[in-house]
Chains A and B, each alone.
Chain A
Amino acid sequence: MEWFETWGLTLTVFLPLVGVVFLGLIPKENEIALKTTGLVASIMAFVASLILIARFDFSSNTYNSYQFEVSETWIGAINANYHVGIDGISLPMLVLSTFVMVLAVIYSWNHWDEPKNPKAFLILMMILATGMNGTFVALDLVLFFLFFEIVLLPMYFMIGIWGDKTPRRIPGFAKEFETRLYAAIKFFLFTLFGSAFLLLGFLALYFESGNSQFGRTFDIPQLTELGASGAFSGTFAFLVFGAIFLGFAVKVPMFPFHTWLPDAHTAAPTVGSVLLAAILLKLGSYGFIRISLPILPEEAMSWAPFIAILAVIGIIYGSLACLAQSDMKRLIAFSSVGHMGFIMLGISTMTDIGINAAIIGMVAHGLITGLLFFIAGSMHHRYHTREMARLGGNIKLMPVMGGILAFTAMASLGLPGLAGFWGEFMSLVASFNPLPGLSLGVFRSAMVIGAIGTVLTAGYMLWMLQKVNLGEPGDEWEGKELHDVDRFELAAWVPLIVLIVVIGFFPKIIFNSTTDVVTSLVDMAFNPETTASISSQIGG
């Protein structure tokens, strides 16, 4: 298995792409073969990521030392390399990504949104998988950017082709548009808008690093070292941080860049929503941890209160917006704004507790909100409506589906003992004592407001359950054949349910991977003594 040390990550990232080749060769009519190929490709990537866990050395888990590292020259002219590697931060994210992809393929086995065409859809899913997995392992800014952007295209087509065709009035436009078109374009442009700034920031770092011993570099580990030694500072770094912030904040999304999210989620086909919520949103928050904080620590500190304020606004704002929704899927979509707010609040504290909170929060949100979108999709599949006013008594018509929905709603509102609790709770813990030097006033206010946000979260989740699940079913459903969950749905959902409970009672399976590396990240970036010693080592 020696070869796995060098090939493991590449396999995890590109196996789905190999699947694309095979999918391309299989004729469109042969659905079973197509689906099997997709499943095999995603399972192989998942298995590869499991082997990564098995062979990961948790005892030498320090920041900026990566495992399964590969670095090959790629575009020599600009010193961009195929540099990949993982540490305890990216490991859980990578596994989450491969894991959810397997479930998405299983689920889509008999759930194809119009106009079906499994071949095209599976190809898009596999490309998406490569993009997502790649983003979590990339250690070169160009490579990172490439993967980060690759993700856009399949999602754009998923929403634009398989999305919701209902015509919708768009504020500011005279005539109606198909929801999917508006949503797809909005999603694409919003993210592209952020990406433009992201690229700008990356280029700026590239040129600025020209004065260092490394020469002009896109290499994340090298830039991290430069960052820790204080190489980037002043107005320049402040603006660079701002540009990169904009790129990631749109993706997360943070208030006020969130408006693409409810539209994209509502319009997207079920699997699209699931992947969007479970993985795509995490690319942004992961970027903050991997790039913004370590490379620009000083600027991160000066931006931190601002990020924290936007994060708590997002928590309250997102939850209040949820209360106003009448569309079940849109409600779940808006709930992400609030939940991602907790994750960003954790990151903005710049402490090991906060960053650990963010990572476990990302994993939990991926599992829980992913599951919620699965359920919302399956219910739409049966009722052909997402209007909560028309639903009701679902648990009477479909007891298992209703039960799973109730469970997931409880997980989503952060019930202790389930996965969602730890991220929220620890974000609040971290806000009580943020990194020394950050404003206690801002962060402790954020703590109190964030805690109040949990009440609102409980409020909209309970009201959703009341409207959708409880009460007597409406007359229009009488006599309709509504079959309860089928085996593909169960196969996709039960693993999520189990993980939500397991992480809820044993968060150690995440913390084991993250705690050491996060501690050393915080130490490296924000401890003046460490910073000074790195600075003298590399003669910066």
Chain B
Amino acid sequence: MMSRLLFAAEEIHAGDGGWWADTAGVMLVLPFVAFLLILAFGKKLKYKGGEIAVAALAINLVWATVLLLMNANGGVLDQITFEIGHIGSGLVFELGWVVDGLSILMFFLVNFVGLVVFVYALGYMKDDVRVDWFFAAFSLFAGAMLVLVGAPNLIQLIIGWEGVGLASYLLIGFYWEDLDNVRAGNKAFLTNKVADVGLILGAILVGVSIGSWDFGAIDFAAFEGAPELAAVATAGGLLLFFGAMGKSAQFPFHIWLPDAMAGPTPVSALMHAATMVTAGIYLMARMFPLFEYMAQNVRIVMIVIGTVTLFGVGLLAIVADDIKKVLAYSTVSQLGYMMTAIAAGGYTAGMFHLFTHASFKALLFLGAGSVIHAVHSNDMSDMGGLRKFMPTTFWTWVVGALALSGIGLSGFWSKDEILATMGEQGLTVVLWISIAGAFVTAFYMARATFLTFFGSYKGDGQPHESPRIMTVPLVILAVPAAVAGVLNIPGLSLPRLGNFTEWLAVRLVPMGDHHAEAINFGLAAMGLAAAVLGVVIGWLIYYPDKETQLQRDSFEIPVLFPLLRKKYYIDDLALGIVALIKGPLARLVDWTSTYVIEGLVNGVAGLVKGFGVFVYDTLDQRGVDGVFNGLSAAADGAGSVVRKWQSGRVQQYAASFVAGALILVVLFVFVI
């Protein structure tokens, strides 16, 4: 491993990150320390342990920022591992951390977005129930994600992966008094668990074939075309992608994400921006060499699924009434863009969109949270005209919405890069669908914005702007949401920082990445035009103020909208399958166990017992006993003993069975 590191470091002139990289594992551990501390002492503290959670991520952010800057200044490549167990035939399990362009980016993202959201949550959760448990689980969430992105091998990735799943389950079902929330948590966990079958099997295929789960080893095997990896590359790649579909909510596994809104809003913000849903995209980026150099045919499947997701699931946002669900579907759609981009070879494009998306989606969710905090409802029919009451929330929301729609701000640049990648790869159909998707995105964001912030207020009471502890995070997030695009404008390299493409290229092997060298003005203009068109149409339909929000929202396309409201019946299908397994199938199995197998056993026992009765009544009493009837005094005594023994049916059954068994033993012993 070390020699490979040195080789790669020389190839790309990366440093080893020195002390900061050697101690980067601190970031993976601190949130868990915070978790335990909050559980132990949280109740006694002013912010119920929130201060511990914030402190942990603040310290983490120092490491992440230093590493990010070091990586921008020449690259950092390092890996530290500890063996936690090995098996004779060469199976080694290790934990540790990998420090390279990709993981550093994720370290920064998780800790930065996490810190902002944590601070926001200090205000948002202030008067809520179980605040200490909230921050404990929140720390667990961030910690598991850091374990995932810092993983030097597939095993640790799986540990982090399932840890993220667990934390999300705990947080989605945070208000567990209401069983609907519990069901939402179950749905998330189980949907992911189904997909995890793919991850586990894919990891087994890849790991066993090359004898290592180390990402470096896998990258090298893929890069050098190792035949043992090539033999399983397609199956392994497909299975890993299957796993990624769960966490990253790709069609048809997207069904858990809108339900996941049951948790407190800061959870949604973190889940949609930095932790959880980015995990699948990250896995694909981490395994990119496998798909780039070997499993090319899997990419077709990835592109199809990604495209269906970005357009089909995006459409669902149009009919959502819950402001958070609009955002949830938009996340699924953007994840589709990322997946398609990576599948098309755009390693940088996909990750860059992940990066910009993290800032503006966290911003939008926190903005939605601020709105919900003010009007005490998720439903847009209780909103309207909030622009006047909550100016900071409004303006930051507009920044986020424009960025998401791909108009001018950070999202424009990252989405443009994805379109350029598709264009370059000659994926014309996918390109057009993506542009149509950009139109849809802008349209539903316009709808949400106009319904929420324009017109007159339709809810109860007098909404107020949120406290500073919540608005400052909004403003902080608005900055990257607006300008992060500058980090990767094709052909531009910032002084002393370089650009995003160079940062991400710091990996053990060359990524063979396809990225645009110059701005494709034609595609950029088309994407922009589609988005602006979406906003304009949205403005025409949803801007005018009416008596009620429902009247404002009465625009309808026959057939399509009802179908969208039914979510293409996929949720119903999934529920039906689950009900089938839980109900009839499980009952059938239980029935066979109780009546067929057990009935068989009891039947045999009954037969043996019957035989025993026959022996006793017919042979013993009338035959053998009859012969000895003359000597009956003793026999009578014995008989009464036996009759006593008989008094309970169960004993009888037992006795005869034991006798039968003993006879069997004796028979077999003598036969041999």
> Which residues from chain A sit less than 8 Å from chain B, CB to CB?
170-173, 175, 177, 181-182, 185-186, 188-190, 192-193, 196, 199-200, 203-204, 207, 256, 258-259, 262, 317, 320-325, 351-353, 356, 393, 395-396, 410, 415-417, 421-422, 425-426, 428-429, 432-433, 447-448, 451-452, 454-456, 458-459, 462-463, 466, 469-472, 505-508, 510-512, 515-516, 518-519, 522
Contact = CB atoms under 8 A, between A and B. Distances in A.
B455 interface: no
Interface string B597-611: 111011101100000
B94 to A, nearest CB: 11
A422 B87 CA distance: 12
Give chain B's interface secondary structure class.
helix
Given A259-B593, A320-B586, A470 B88 contact: no
Contact of A506 (B85, B207, B668): B85
B200 to A, nearest CB: 6
B650 interface: yes
A199 B197 contact: no
B127 interface: no
A471 B595 CA distance: 34
A170 B602 contact: yes
B573 to A, nearest CB: 17
Given A433-B208, A463-B186, A204 B672 contact: yes
A195 to B, nearest CB: 8
Contacts of A417: 159, 162-163
B658 interface: yes
B585 interface: yes
Contacts of B649: 173, 175
- Closest A-B pairs by Cβ, 4 of them: A519-B88, A323-B586, A324-B590, A324-B586
B89 interface: yes
Interface in B168-204: 169, 173, 176-179, 182-183, 186, 189-190, 193-194, 196-197, 200-201, 204
User: Chain A CB within 10 Å — which of B581, B597, B601 has the most?
Assistant: B601
B581 A352 contact: no
A451 B158 CA distance: 14
A172 B186 contact: no
Given A207-B672, A433-B208, A471-B176, A415 B201 contact: no
User: Chain B CB within 10 Å — which of A207, A417, A510, A512 has the most?
Assistant: A417
B517 interface: no
A454 B89 contact: no
A144 to B, nearest CB: 17
Nearest to A208: B672
B650 A177 contact: yes
A320 B86 contact: no
Interface string B644-672: 00000110011001100100110011001
Contacts of A425: 158, 200
A321 B589 contact: yes
Contacts, number: 190
Contact of A429 (B88, B204, B578, B605): B204
Contacts of B179: 466, 470-471
A322 B593 CA distance: 11
A328 B317 CA distance: 41
Contact of B89 (A259, A351, A511): A351
Interface of B: 83-89, 91, 93, 95, 155, 158-159, 161-163, 166, 169, 173, 176-179, 182-183, 186, 189-190, 193-194, 196-197, 200-201, 204-205, 207-208, 578, 581-582, 585-587, 589-590, 593-595, 597-599, 601-603, 605-606, 649-650, 653-654, 657-658, 661, 664-665, 668-669, 672
A451 B95 CA distance: 23
7 contacts: A199-B669, A324-B590, A353-B87, A356-B87, A356-B88, A466-B186, A515-B87
Contacts of A353: 87, 89, 91
Contact of A172 (B169, B578, B606, B661): B606
A470 B169 CA distance: 13
Contacts of A462: 169, 186, 189-190
Contacts of B197: 451-452, 454-455
B130 to A, nearest CB: 10
A203 B668 CA distance: 10
A326 B99 CA distance: 49
Given A172-B599, A417-B162, A200 B665 contact: yes
Given A416-B162, A451-B201, A511 B190 contact: no
B665 A199 contact: yes
A320 B599 contact: no
Given A185-B653, A196-B665, A173 B602 contact: yes
User: Chain B CB within 10 Å — which of A185, A352, A510, A519 has the most?
Assistant: A185
A171 B599 contact: yes
Contacts of A325: 590
Nearest to A316: B589
A203 B672 contact: yes
User: Chain A CB within 10 Å — which of B200, B208, B595 has the most?
Assistant: B200
